[in-house]
A = this chain, B = another copy of it.
Amino acid sequence: MRKLLLFLTLVITHAQAQEKLNLMPWPTAVNQLESRFRIDDSFKLNINGAVGKNSIDYASRFISRLSGRTGIFFTDFLPVENPLDSGLQISIAEEKSLEVGVDESYELKISGASINLLAKTQVGAMRGLETLLQLLSADEKGYYFIGAEVNDAPRFVWRGLLLDVCRHWMPMDVVLRNLDAMAAVKMNVLHLHLTEDQGFRVESKVYPKLHQLGSDGNYFTQEDIKLIVSYAAARGIRVIPEFDIPGHTSSWFVGYPELASASGPYTITRKAGVQDPTIDPTKESTYKFLKGFLTEMAGLFPDTYMHIGGDENNGKQWDANPQISKFKEENGFVSNHELQAYFNMRIAKILTSLNKRMVGWDEILDKDLPKSIVIQSWRGKQALVDAAEAGYDVLLSNGYYIDLSQPASYHYLNDPIPENTELSSEARKHVLGGEATMWSEKVSPETVDSRIWPRTAAIAERLWSPANINDINSMHQRMGVISAQLEEHGVTHLKNYEMMMRRLVGQENVPVLKILIDVLEPVEGYARGRYKKYTMQSPLTRVPDIARPDAIVAREFNLLVDKYLKNKNANLKNDIKEQLLIWIDNSKKIKKLAEVKPEIREILPLSDDLSKISIIAMQALSPNKFHDASWHKSASSMLAEAAKPKAECELKVIEGISKLVSATK
């Protein structure tokens, strides 16, 4: 009996001690403890075992970030020499090089007296340090780490972000700050999309006209690349370069028109979309050139994997070139796909000779290609299934297209191996993981971070955490916290929001504009191009560029409506009304503002719509007598009108207001 009582007491105390853990990605196993490890200026850490420069630097940055978040002037800002009884003790078991499948597991134990972090490799220690920093909390006594036992390892070995630095040039600082942010959510691959119709973004000393004539002067020098690679490695991130061939190659041909399948001259493409210029796969000189170029790049990028693109070859130049038709005939190729397969095979041989494994988009899948290549699925899930069943390693990007302004929840539930998968157990082993893809047709260095973050943190969790960690609300709650933490790395997804409004309307008018933009999202998918004719020079400073996926205020309003409709609580009703009145009132202010701020005139219809549906919502919350058939008819027609995209944006409170209207039936 005494035992049972004691047990009960413990459970209760334990329950009291529980506080919400804002961990992301969520660990494989975590057990919260009652203890709190108090932090003061005497905090110290030591690393022992297979320590390297990267882990020491990471640990030093950990102390600086802890200092930045707490304002504490630590006595030791660098790891101390001798192992510790108290403080943070990091132990690294083995020296391992950074490559696909490197052990990233760690064990973390935070007690009141000490913190122990055990990892198999330096990379595992980095992952554990991020978890520890996410466990920072505070109470009336000061800062502490929440007591916990964590046992963690990733579900997938390849958790990447593709950054397209071609369509819009993304300078070094964009790359470096995003590498830091990636490491904060335990991502481990940066896929640099380096060549495109719109720009050739890497220095070639072997063929200098590539970057000299193909980049408008905007490219990474080889020194830059070395810095990116070492900066990434210091954060446990591999860098995979992509040289997209044979299509997407206009910028190559400005300097080397002889590579093309049609005669030049060529210029750098300023439009988006699939272009005709394509490498000529029939000339031996092509392979000589590519071997020279890829050999140079192989020396620059140490990772085993190299991406050759292979997507969206429209075949027009091939079809129009009699020489190429003849080549096809002579070799018995009945389709351009077969010709491209031949091209890919030649490239695969070059890469093999360079000790590289080839990665390509799903178009390259062909039975004749060696099983060492990796297929990245983007057009649909079937390619992933087909390739994995055929014995190829695969990566999922379909469903992770963060350039398309889809909600985080959509990406979050996009599992590379879903519960209902048709993949055989053998094929599942070929699923390496996935990559979020940040294509840059509609983003500038100013807006790109707001398309990457915070949604990529949800993708990072999908690829790291167990499949059953999939609660949308929990994800959103934690993602909000992590999102703000990422700002310490300089990413601009939060801070450029009001900055861009200031440019449009001035600081003093930001609050008015913000009320509207807070409930707007840019249209999803490829819809933006349907409203305006974009080139790479078009402005990306308008409201659809400011508005962000997952409009938080809209989401919260819709959740508030759900909550109210469940129990019809009067306070909640008042909260809803208060918000509606703000929106109604704001439409007049926006109108007035637009008189002297021409750039926001395009969003007046959205502002009107918001006001009108807010009035409808007010009516829906009024006594029943209003809600006759004709009111319902006009309400739903107004809601349908308001649901239509305008100024490349969508109002995201239609859902909540529609529910209020429906509830009156």
* A contact set with B: CB distance below 8 Å: 64, 67-74, 77, 138-140, 142-143, 171-173, 176, 221, 223-224, 445-446, 484-485, 487-488, 490, 492, 494-496, 498-499, 502-504, 506-507, 532-535, 537-542, 595-599, 602
Complex alpha-carbon distance, A507 and B479, angstroms: 13
A503 CB contact (under 8 Å) in B173, B221, B487, B492: B487
User: Given the complex, which residues of B lie within 8 Å of A445, measured CB to CB?
Assistant: 490
User: Given the complex, which residues of B lie within 8 Å of A490, measured CB to CB?
Assistant: 445-446
Complex alpha-carbon distance, A538 and B599, angstroms: 44
What are 24 of the A-B contact pairs (CB < 8 Å)?
Answer: A64-B537, A68-B539, A70-B539, A71-B541, A73-B538, A74-B537, A77-B535, A138-B596, A139-B596, A140-B595, A143-B598, A172-B173, A221-B223, A223-B224, A446-B490, A484-B506, A484-B507, A487-B502, A487-B503, A488-B503, A492-B495, A494-B507, A495-B498, A498-B498
Complex alpha-carbon distance, A563 and B210, angstroms: 64
A73 touches B172 (CB 8 A): no
User: Given the complex, which residues of B lie within 8 Å of A498, measured CB to CB?
Assistant: 495, 498
User: Given the complex, which residues of B lie within 8 Å of A602, measured CB to CB?
Assistant: 71
A515 to chain B, nearest CB (A): 15
Q: Assuming the A-B contacts A172-B172, A499-B487, A503-B487, are A67 and B138 also in contact, with contact meaning beta carbons closer than 8 angstroms in the complex?
A: no
A599 touches B499 (CB 8 A): no
A125 to chain B, nearest CB (A): 20
Identical chains bound together, number = 2
Closest chain B residue to A596 by CB distance?
A: B138
Complex alpha-carbon distance, A71 and B538, angstroms: 8
A301 to chain B, nearest CB (A): 18
A138 touches B598 (CB 8 A): yes
A533 touches B502 (CB 8 A): no
User: Given the complex, which residues of B lie within 8 Å of A535, measured CB to CB?
Assistant: 77
Complex alpha-carbon distance, A221 and B68, angstroms: 28
Complex alpha-carbon distance, A487 and B507, angstroms: 12
User: Given the complex, which residues of B lie within 8 Å of A596, measured CB to CB?
Assistant: 138-140
A532 touches B223 (CB 8 A): no
A575 to chain B, nearest CB (A): 15
Complex alpha-carbon distance, A602 and B138, angstroms: 15
User: Given the complex, which residues of B lie within 8 Å of A534, measured CB to CB?
Assistant: 73
A542 touches B71 (CB 8 A): yes
Complex alpha-carbon distance, A339 and B572, angstroms: 80
Q: Assuming the A-B contacts A138-B597, A495-B496, are A541 and B68 also in contact, with contact meaning beta carbons closer than 8 angstroms in the complex?
A: yes
Complex alpha-carbon distance, A534 and B74, angstroms: 11
Closest chain B residue to A532 by CB distance?
A: B73
B533 touches A73 (CB 8 A): yes
User: Given the complex, which residues of B lie within 8 Å of A446, measured CB to CB?
Assistant: 490
Q: Choose among A534, A539, A597, A599 the residue with the greatest number of B CB atoms under 10 Å from its CB.
A: A539
Closest chain B residue to A552 by CB distance?
A: B507
A71 CB contact (under 8 Å) in B172, B487, B502, B539: B539
A67 touches B495 (CB 8 A): no
A539 touches B503 (CB 8 A): no
Complex alpha-carbon distance, A484 and B503, angstroms: 7
**Told that A64-B539, A487-B502 touch, could you supply 10 new A-B pairs with CB distance under 8 A?**
A67-B539, A67-B541, A68-B503, A68-B539, A70-B539, A71-B539, A71-B599, A73-B533, A73-B534, A138-B597
Complex alpha-carbon distance, A171 and B176, angstroms: 11
B537 touches A77 (CB 8 A): yes
A630 to chain B, nearest CB (A): 38
Complex alpha-carbon distance, A143 and B598, angstroms: 7
User: Given the complex, which residues of B lie within 8 Å of A537, measured CB to CB?
Assistant: 64, 67, 74, 77
A308 to chain B, nearest CB (A): 28
Closest chain B residue to A602 by CB distance?
A: B71
User: Given the complex, which residues of B lie within 8 Å of A487, measured CB to CB?
Assistant: 499, 502-503
Closest chain B residue to A506 by CB distance?
A: B484
User: Given the complex, which residues of B lie within 8 Å of A496, measured CB to CB?
Assistant: 495
Closest chain B residue to A217 by CB distance?
A: B57
A228 to chain B, nearest CB (A): 13
User: Given the complex, which residues of B lie within 8 Å of A488, measured CB to CB?
Assistant: 503
Complex alpha-carbon distance, A73 and B540, angstroms: 10
User: Given the complex, which residues of B lie within 8 Å of A597, measured CB to CB?
Assistant: 138
Closest chain B residue to A487 by CB distance?
A: B499
> Lowest 8 CB-CB distances: which A-B pairs, in order?
A173-B173, A77-B537, A495-B495, A71-B599, A67-B539, A68-B541, A71-B542, A495-B499
User: Given the complex, which residues of B lie within 8 Å of A499, measured CB to CB?
Assistant: 487, 494-495
Closest chain B residue to A483 by CB distance?
A: B507
Q: Choose among A68, A496, A535 the residue with the greatest number of B CB atoms under 10 Å from its CB.
A: A68
A142 touches B598 (CB 8 A): yes
A70 touches B142 (CB 8 A): no
Complex alpha-carbon distance, A77 and B538, angstroms: 8
User: Given the complex, which residues of B lie within 8 Å of A67, measured CB to CB?
Assistant: 537-539, 541
User: Given the complex, which residues of B lie within 8 Å of A495, measured CB to CB?
Assistant: 492, 495-496, 498-499
Complex alpha-carbon distance, A598 and B535, angstroms: 49
Complex alpha-carbon distance, A602 and B72, angstroms: 12
Complex alpha-carbon distance, A73 and B536, angstroms: 11
A69 CB contact (under 8 Å) in B140, B484, B503: B503
User: Given the complex, which residues of B lie within 8 Å of A172, measured CB to CB?
Assistant: 172-173
Complex alpha-carbon distance, A538 and B71, angstroms: 8
Closest chain B residue to A64 by CB distance?
A: B537
A378 to chain B, nearest CB (A): 29
Complex alpha-carbon distance, A73 and B539, angstroms: 7
Q: Assuming the A-B contacts A173-B173, A221-B223, A495-B495, are A70 and B503 also in contact, with contact meaning beta carbons closer than 8 angstroms in the complex?
A: no
User: Given the complex, which residues of B lie within 8 Å of A142, measured CB to CB?
Assistant: 598
Complex alpha-carbon distance, A69 and B595, angstroms: 16
B173 touches A539 (CB 8 A): no
Complex alpha-carbon distance, A586 and B71, angstroms: 23
User: Given the complex, which residues of B lie within 8 Å of A542, measured CB to CB?
Assistant: 71
Closest chain B residue to A224 by CB distance?
A: B223
